[in-house]
Amino acid sequence: MARRPDLGKREEIWSRKDLDEIMHNLSLLSEHGVREFYLRAYRECAIINSQTFPPPRAVQELVQAWKQLRKWRKS
């Protein structure tokens, strides 16, 4: 039987200000640098089994890198 996650443990998340800073820093990187950041976050977000889930911060970083790559694609 699968275990339930410990809901009493508060997971760390990035604040809106932190996310804005991450996005700003990503915008200063080359496309290669952002792709490397994205791939690192993607690996960290891998769900290996039913008891391991990515930390919220890793998911937030993945989304920020994805957003930056999408901005460049649109322009």
* pLDDT computed for residue 31 by the predictor: 93
DSSP 8-state code for residue 73: H
* pLDDT computed for residue 45 by the predictor: 93
* pLDDT computed for residue 3 by the predictor: 59
- 3-state per-residue secondary structure call for the chain: CCCCCCCCCCCCCCCHHHHHHHHHHHHHCCHHHHHHHHHHHHHHCCCCCCCCCCCHHHHHHHHHHHHHHHHHHHC
Q: Is the pLDDT of residue 2 over 60?
A: no
- pLDDT digit string (tens) for 11-69? 899 999 999 999 999 999 999 999 999 999 999 999 888 888 899 999 999 999 999 99
